[in-house]
Amino acid sequence: MITIKSEREIELMRDAGALTARVLDMLEEEIKPGMTTLRLDELAEQFIRDHNAVPSFLNYVPKGEVGVTPYPATLCVSINEEVVHGVPSAKRIIQDGDIVSVDCGVYKSGYHGDAARTFVMGAVDPEVRLLVERTKECLYLGIAQAVTGNRLHDISAAIEQHARSFGYSVIENMVGHGIGSELHEDPAVPNYGRPHTGVKLRQGMTLAIEPMIALGRSRRAVSKRRAWVAVTEDGKPCSHCEHTIVVRDGEAEILTK
């Protein structure tokens, strides 16, 4: 069921979204080669708790799945061929030349914010740098479609078309999602699809839009048994970015700017 949020609820989501963005701003300043991904996680958790909020991902259990371990961290930090859900670790040191997707969720006053950015560390291959830039363009082109009068897959199609125009591959088995008092709500927001299809977008729908775009040919992100991290099938790098938005008349409102 897709819920439409009242302006009062959106006000609270603006708060959660703003804090999510501030965590990523802080991490953008701190992140550098030589740092462990666990250190990033500690900084994020402390920052969130200092602002009277709770990390959304910590102890998260995907709905309807049995036997999975609750997510053990505040952030997902996914490097190079890792698409999403990289678990921060004291053993994982960020290297010069890496691209690092940092995904953060914040729960505040009963609502979630969810956002991700991919950071480029030093001497990254120019082709990979372009992938990161264009994935961000995909996100903004998707957001531009999140207006009343359009349908859900207008967002998806805009993302896919831009990615394909460069010969990139769209990860199909990981999707964006509705968001609100739950981290993951209906509808699923795929990063591919046909224009003018899917549910009608309505003012007050809140969505987390998150393109995952890869070099090479991988159409799926795959995980080893019981591992959280999901990687491209061919080991090629993948970029990921995400905003929480509100569908509006005329122009979507970004809550995690």
Backbone conformation region of residue 216, classed left if phi is above 0, alpha if psi is from -120 to 50, else beta: left
Nearest residue to 174 via CA among 118, 225, 230, 133: 230
Instruction: Please identify, using beta-carbon distances, which residue of 38 and 76 lies nearer to ligand MF3.
Output: 76
| C-beta closer to Co ion: residue 157 or 208 | 208
169 vs 256, beta carbon nearer Co ion = 256
* Strands of the sheet with 243-246, listed across from one edge: 185-189, 176-178, 206-209, 243-246, 253-254
The closest residue (CB) to ligand MF3 is 71
CB of 20 to ligand MF3, least distance (A): 10
- At residue 181, what is the residue type? S
With a CB cutoff of 8 Å and minimum separation 6, the contacts of 168 are 131, 134, 213, 214, 215
208 scored as a contact of Co ion (CB under 5 A): yes
* Partners of 178 in the β-ladder: 185, 207
The answer to whether 206 and 245 have CB atoms below 8 angstroms apart is yes
Partner residues linked to 176 by β-bridges: 189
| Closer to Co ion by Cβ: residue 65 or 127 | 65
Stretch that binds Co ion, among 51-59, 75-83, 109-117, 220-228 (CB under 5 A): 109-117
Per CB under 6 A, residues contacting ligand MF3 are 57, 60, 71, 76, 85, 103, 114, 116, 177, 208, 242
| Residue 37: CB minimum distance to ligand MF3, A | 14
Stretch that binds Co ion, among 10-18, 25-33, 120-128, 202-210 (CB under 5 A): 202-210
Q: Residue 140's binding partner, choosing from ligand MF3, Co ion, none, with beta-carbon cut-off 5 to 8 A by kind?
A: none
Helices (H), the chain: 7-30, 37-50, 126-144, 152-165
Cβ closer to ligand MF3: 63 or 225? 63
CB of 114 to Co ion, least distance (A): 4
Could you say which of 9, 15, 114, 160 contacts Co ion (CB under 5 A)?
A: 114
Contact 1, 180 (CB under 8 A): no
Contacting positions for Co ion (CB under 5 A): 114, 208
